[in-house]
């Protein structure tokens, strides 16, 4: 990669100097130590102490912060790369949350940092260096191949003489959809019944995590639609809080025009794509 590897020998020295100058913190985990090293190796030498996004992430990891990979749904990813990056992000998060950090911290770090490298060159670097994109993606896939999902142990059967009653299964997961008028983020009166049903379902489940994903149709530009879909998600969250759900248990995500219910051309007003999806 021309930008990141041009001064690799000097980069190794700069990493050591940079880390030595950082304030001391509690002992880092093997994963955060690997993240610090790998992000610094991606940063350009001249920006180790400044605004380079990889250097910023490296210093955050070294200070003990929970550094997450970039979410492609929050960036303006070109349509031709969107499915691949979203799929890669989903697989990466499933591995990281499934024990990859603890199972193989070095390869988990390689997977996260190379995913960010891949996304950076597609979006922030405008896809100009296709060789760098391929190198980052190949390194990501190689690291992900080291992820070994844990195999759940089979529970021991109950003693024949004392059969145990099976616990009642939890209510099956459900989703709800609230639709919006064109270019509006206020909750319509006809959505109140949907919100009341969703709130009652959350009460039945004992609350738990509620996820709100805001969407927009393709009648505006992508940046505007991202903000509009976030406002819609925030409006639904406020309505659910008003119905008694705890604000801290509700997460919102803006999807913009990236995940339509109905596929349309650019500039088309499609009512079914102007929505907030409520999932549990």
Give yes or no for a contact between 91 and 144, defined as CB atoms under 8 angstroms apart. Answer: yes
Mind listing the pLDDT tens digit for each residue in 63-92? 989 999 999 999 999 999 999 999 999 999
Q: How far apart are CA 192 and CA 262, in angstroms?
A: 24
**Same domain for 98 and 52?**
no
> Residue 25: which pLDDT band, with cuts at 50, 70 and 90?
very low
Q: What is the pLDDT of residue 21?
A: 47
Same domain, yes or no, for 196 and 230?
yes
**Within a domain: 204:** yes
Helix (H, G, I), strand (E, B) or coil at 99: helix
Q: Which of 11-25, 49-63, 177-191, 202-216 is the least confident region?
A: 11-25
Of 39-43, 44-48, 113-117, 196-200, the one with minimum mean pLDDT is: 44-48
SS3 (DSSP) at 276: strand
In terms of domains, do 107 and 52 share one? no
Is 165 inside a domain boundary? no
Same domain, 110 and 20: no
Beta carbons within 8 Å of 246's beta carbon, 6+ residues apart: 207
Per-residue pLDDT reduced to its tens digit, 106-159: 999 999 999 999 999 999 767 677 888 999 999 999 999 999 888 777 787 777
Residue 44's domain spans which residues?
2-62
3-state secondary structure of 79: helix
Query: Residue 176 — φ and ψ, nearest 5°?
Result: -135, 150
Task: Specify whether 189 is located in the same domain as 262.
Answer: yes
Separation of alpha carbons 78 and 221, rounded Å: 13
- CA 26 from chain center: how many Å? 27
Residue 257 and residue 273: Cα distance in Å, rounded?
8
Say if residue 171's pLDDT is above 50.
yes
Q: Is residue 193 located within the same domain as residue 253?
A: yes
Q: For CA atoms 123, 126, 132, 138, give the dihedral sign.
A: positive
pLDDT reported for residue 202: 87
Q: Which two tokens stand for residue 32?
A: 């955060």
| Six-digit token string for 107 | 């390869």
**Residue 98 belongs to a domain:** yes
Q: How far apart are CA 59 and CA 13, in angstroms?
A: 16
- How far is it, in rounded angstroms, from Cα 273 to Cα 261? 6
Report the DSSP pairing between strands 175-179 and 250-256: unpaired
Closest listed residue to residue 41, CA positions, set 52, 25, 26, 50: 52
- At residue 3, does pLDDT exceed 50? no
DSSP conformational letter for 251? E
The tally of domains found in the chain comes to 3
pLDDT digits (tens, 9 = 90+) for 4-21: 443 333 443 344 444 444
| Confidence bin at 49 (pLDDT 50/70/90) | low
Pairwise CA distance, residues 165 & 10, whole Å: 66
* Whether residue 57 sits in one domain with residue 11: yes
In a domain, 156, yes or no: no
Write the CA distances from 81 to 58, 72, 127, 144, 259, integer angstroms. Answer: 26, 10, 10, 19, 14
Residue 157: what pLDDT? 79
204-236 tens-digit pLDDT: 877 678 999 999 999 989 999 999 999 999 999
State pLDDT tens for residues 240-252. 999 999 999 999 9
- Check whether 182 has a pLDDT greater than 90: yes
Model's pTM, two decimal places? 0.47
Are 87 and 53 contained in the same domain? no
Structure tokens at 173: 């997961």
Residue ranges of alpha helices (H) inside 96-247 are 101-103, 105-123, 130-144, 192-204, 222-242
């Amino acid at each position: 990669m021309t930008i990141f590897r041009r001064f690799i020998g000097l980069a190794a020295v700069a990493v050591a100097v940079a880390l030595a100058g950082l304030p001391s913190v509690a002992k880092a985990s093997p994963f955060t130590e690997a993240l610090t090293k790998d992000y610094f190796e991606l940063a350009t030498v001249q920006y180790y102490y400044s605004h380079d996004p990889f250097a910023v992430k490296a210093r955050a990891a070294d200070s003990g912060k929970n550094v997450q990979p970039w979410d492609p749904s929050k960036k303006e990813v070109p349509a031709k790369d969107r499915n691949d990056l979203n799929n890669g992000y989903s697989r990466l998060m499933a591995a990281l949350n499934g024990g990859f950090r603890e199972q193989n911290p070095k390869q988990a770090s390689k997977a996260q940092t190379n995913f960010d490298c891949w996304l950076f060159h597609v979006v922030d670097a405008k896809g100009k260096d296709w060789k760098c994109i391929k190198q980052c993606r190949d390194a990501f896939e190689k690291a992900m191949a080291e992820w070994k999902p844990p195999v759940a142990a089979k529970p021991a059967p109950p003693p024949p003489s004392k059969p145990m009653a099976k616990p009642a299964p939890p209510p099956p997961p459900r989703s709800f959809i609230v639709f919006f008028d064109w270019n509006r983020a206020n909750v319509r009166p006809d959505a109140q019944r949907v919100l009341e049903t969703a709130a009652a379902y959350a009460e039945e489940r004992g609350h738990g995590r509620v996820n709100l994903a805001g969407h927009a149709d393709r009648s505006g530009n992508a940046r505007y639609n991202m903000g509009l879909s976030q406002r819609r998600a925030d409006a639904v969250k406020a309505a659910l809080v008003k119905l008694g759900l705890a604000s801290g248990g509700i997460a919102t995500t803006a999807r913009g025009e990236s995940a339509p219910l109905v596929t349309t051309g650019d500039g088309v007003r499609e009512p079914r794509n102007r929505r907030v999806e409520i999932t549990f």
